[in-house]
Every structure is written in C-alpha cells, then in structure tokens.
Amino acid sequence: VGIAVHDATGKITYLNQKAKQLLNSDTYTDSVEKITEIYQIYRAGTDELYPTEELPALQALQGKTWLIEDMELHQNGQIIPLEVYATPIFDEIGNILYSIKVFNDITERQQAQNILADYNHTLETQVQLRTTELIKINEQLKQEITERQQVEQALRESEERFQEIAQTIKQFFFIRSGATGQYLYVSPAYEQLWGLSC
C-alpha cells in the first residue's frame, strides 16, 4: 500500500516507495492547494479534480478518521481507482501533529466486482427467461389437462348414453374386436338369448 504523512499544515512530509510509484512522483509538494492537480487526483468516474478540502489526509487533520473509495489517479493514460484511509495522530495533550494516509490500488477488486455484477446480471436474466418458459409450459399443461378432462367427460357422457340405449333396445347386437375376435359388448337381449356375456 502507499503511505503518506501530512504535517499539521497539510504538506506532505513522507511518501513510501509504493506511494511514489502510484503518484508517479519522487517529490513532495509544498502547495497543499495544488495537491490534486500535481498528483492528478480525480473524483472517481469523472474528469473533476478531487476537491482539496475533501482529501482524506486534510479531513484527518481536522480530527476525523476517513475512508473513501471514490478517488482515482490519472497517470500516464491510466486510471487507477483508490481506496484511501486517513487518520489523525495526536500528541500527549490531544493536539493533532500530523495525519497518516494509506492508499491502495483497487483495480483488481473493482474488476472482480464488475465480473461478479455481470455474472449476477446474466444469472438474473437466465432465471427470468427460465421462469417465463416455465410459466408458459405450466399454462400449456393446464390447457392440456383441461382439454383432456373435457374429452374424458365427453367420453363418459357418450358411454352413459350408449349404455342407456343398449339397455333399452330390444334388438340383438354385439360389439366384437376385429383384431382379437373378443366380444367387447353384448346387448342384454342377445345375452339372454345366447347366454353370452363380456
């Protein structure tokens, strides 16, 4: 991680090697007002320099502990998203001596979050499509069940009518399977005459 120390006036007094690498500079600026311009510090996702008064190190000099993830460095055509944590350091009587700022390149974390967000979006889309398909299939099944029930009801009614007709008719008749030769139905009159039944 990059580490920077700011004195009580806000001037940078120390940068570790990683901080120098991230800031693309070996020098410390004396101009607190131009820190964002000199080091090309921007608000994330914009072309707006980060407001100097909102810098975590300067907020820490007001006694606040500060953590942000909305800062970017624009260096050599690259955009480096940062997580920045700053805290004040007090003397024994409570006066702020300086602030320490720790900052870290979170490019990989953001890429992983973007991949995860894309995956979640894809998964949600697939779930919605599958749910729509299942709803459609369910509706088709309901329709088929309804149609089957109607056909079964019609067959029952037809069989009941056939039974009524067959029971009341006095003629001899039977129904025989053409494939097996088995009697499927024998009228009561035929049954009484010949003693056959199904």
With a cut of 50, list the residues of the chain below it in pLDDT.
Answer: none
Q: Output the pLDDT for position 97.
A: 95
With a CB cutoff of 8 Å and minimum separation 6, the contacts of 86 are: 56, 57, 59, 60, 65, 66, 67, 99, 100, 101, 102
* Dist. CA 35–CA 72, nearest whole Å: 13
pLDDT at residue number 193: 66
Contact indicator for 8, 32 with CB cutoff of 8 Å = no
Note the pLDDT of residue 84: 94
Residues 118-151: pLDDT tens digits? 888 888 989 899 999 999 999 999 999 999 999 9
Helical residues (DSSP H) of the chain, grouped into ranges: 17-23, 35-39, 56-60, 107-168, 188-194
One-letter amino acid for residue 188 of the chain:
P
Which pLDDT belongs to residue 194?
A: 63
Structure confidence at residue 173 (pLDDT) = 65
Selection from 73, 35, 77, 30 nearest residue 52 by Cα: 35
pLDDT at residue 172 in the model = 65
Q: What was the pLDDT predicted at 63?
A: 93
Predicted local distance difference test score (pLDDT) of residue 65: 93
